[in-house]
Structure 1
Amino acid sequence: MVPRYARPAMSAIWEPESRYRIWFEIEAHTAVKMGELGVVPESAGKALWDWWATNPKIDV
């Protein structure tokens, strides 16, 4: 985003921390579904969400 044209709410979406959070959530939802389909162990998705519940620091 070009900073001079961006509103604060829109700029926040493109911050690195937000992008990594969104990417993680997509991967975690994918792991849950793959567990339901038997591609990966069902515990994989739960393990990801349990880790996320610890509120990890995203260091970029």
Structure 2
Amino acid sequence: MKRIALLALAALLLSGCAVVTVASTAVSVTAGAVGLAADAAIGTARITGKAVGAAADAVLPSDE
């Protein structure tokens, strides 16, 4: 809610180009945070998958 108020105030105080720049920067920061969160989730899934595979290999009999 504070961000919206801040952006609205900035829109009133700044010229058109500056408002676009501020909004663009806010979107870029948010997109960057979402990208980092997605990378972390993918990394966690890969590690979990490797652990499950290793556990299955240890429990299941080999084909040899």
TM-score range, shorter chain: 0.3 to 0.5
Using structure 2 for the length normalisation, give the TM-score: 0.40
TM-score normalised by structure 1 residue count: 0.42
Higher relative contact order (CA 8 A, sep 6+): 1
